[in-house]
Amino acid sequence: MSAASTQAGTTVAIVYDFDGTLAPGSMQEHSFIPELGYPDPRVFWAEVKAEAERHDGDGILTYMQLMLQKSAKPFTRADLAKHGAGLPLFEGVREWFARTNSFAGSLGLKCEHYVVSSGLREMIEASPIGGEFTHIFASGFSYSEAGVVQAPAVAINYTGKTQFLFRINKGLRTTWDDSAVNRWIPMNQRPVPFARMIFIGDGDTDIPAMKMLRLQGGTSIAVFDPREWGTAEVRQKMELLIAEDRVSYVAPADYREGTQLDVTVRGVLRRMVP
């Protein structure tokens, strides 16, 4: 019996991006960036882009550094948690996890949920669904003993997301341990084979992870904000993701029972039954 087959069932994993996937927009836009003095968050992101270009730097590290520079006073882990607690979610997200776990269990599967996000782990952990995840891999800060933010500690950019699929594949729960993620483990001994993994993301920022997982035999699903389907930009993005063979399915980010996304994930889970 492999490590992935236990009395609790065969382990499968659903891996989510967060911004634009489980919650609309970027998590910093809802309250943190306005508190920095930006009524229009697009101005902040334009500054991030200009600063990253000026230094030929990483966009994720740049936005985290600007959060520190633009804040009128040092902020804390508790401050970030306060912003995370108020994050809005797409329809049905709160009920999604229990319902999906129950369905997977009826098939003899043990469903684990993970986040791999360029957003902030402190906000995700404090969000209304933070407790639903087996582990959260996301960008994050280092802190003083008093809990005051000191500097960026983890920055997960778009191509960097792929390494965290390997960490999940090998049963790892840390970001710092590079030797563990590079250690060879025979494919049949890995706790969560790629073929029993689903990645759900909202498109551009998740393309490397979605493509890699498909090539490894897993399933990638691109979701979009249902309110934005009327825009030509969103429709073209979904069209190209399909045409370029980057995703297995596309669906609105509506997690309620009986929706296209719900039916799609249930169908994929049925396919994973050994």
Both tokens assigned to 186: 């025979």
Average pLDDT over residues 24-43: 95
User: With bands split at pLDDT 50, 70 and 90, how would you rate the model's confidence at 2?
Assistant: very low
Both tokens assigned to 219: 């399933």
Q: Phi, psi at residue 20, to the nearest 5°?
A: 80, -5
Burial of residue 134 (CB within 10 Å: 0-12, 13-18, 19+) is: middle
Q: Phi, psi at residue 70, to the nearest 5°?
A: -85, -15
Average pLDDT over residues 134-158: 95
Both tokens assigned to 84: 């995370």
Q: Phi, psi at residue 92, to the nearest 5°?
A: 85, -5
User: With bands split at pLDDT 50, 70 and 90, how would you rate the model's confidence at 182?
Assistant: confident
For 159-176, how does the pLDDT look when each residue is reduced to its tens digit (9 = 90+)?
889 999 999 999 999 999
C-beta neighbour count of 270 within 10 angstroms: 12
pLDDT for position 3: 41
Tell me the Cα Rg of the chain.
19
C-alpha distance across the termini of the chain, in Å: 12
DSSP states of 197-256: EEEEE-SGGGHHHHHHHHHTT-EEEEEE-GGGTTSHHHHHHHHHHHHTT--SEEEES--S
For 191-250, how does the pLDDT look when each residue is reduced to its tens digit (9 = 90+)?
999 999 999 999 777 999 999 999 999 999 999 999 999 899 999 999 999 999 899 999
**pLDDT at position 101 over 80:** yes
Both tokens assigned to 17: 């991006």
Angle between helices 93-106 and 260-271 (to 10 degrees): 30
Q: Which residue has the tokens 């360029």?
A: 118
The lowest-confidence range among 115-119, 188-192, 221-225, 256-260 is 188-192
Alpha carbons 14 and 264: distance in angstroms, whole number: 13
pLDDT for position 180: 86
Alpha carbons 237 and 208: distance in angstroms, whole number: 15
**pLDDT at position 120 over 50:** yes
**Topology (CATH) of 5-25+89-271:** Rossmann fold (3.40.50)
**pLDDT at position 4 over 70:** no
Structural domain spans, the chain: 5-25+89-271, 28-85
Q: Phi, psi at residue 252, to the nearest 5°?
A: -65, 150
Q: Phi, psi at residue 85, to the nearest 5°?
A: -65, -25
Alpha carbons 42 and 138: distance in angstroms, whole number: 22
User: With bands split at pLDDT 50, 70 and 90, how would you rate the model's confidence at 9?
Assistant: low
C-beta neighbour count of 136 within 10 angstroms: 23
Both tokens assigned to 273: 């039954």
For residue 167, give every residue at least 6 positions away whose Cβ sits within 8 Å of its Cβ, in sequence order, or none.
137, 173, 174, 175, 181
Question: In 3-state terms, what secondary structure has residue 93?
Answer: helix
For 58-94, how does the pLDDT look when each residue is reduced to its tens digit (9 = 90+)?
999 999 999 999 999 999 999 999 999 999 999 999 9
Name the strand (E) or helix (H) holding 15. Answer: strand 9-16
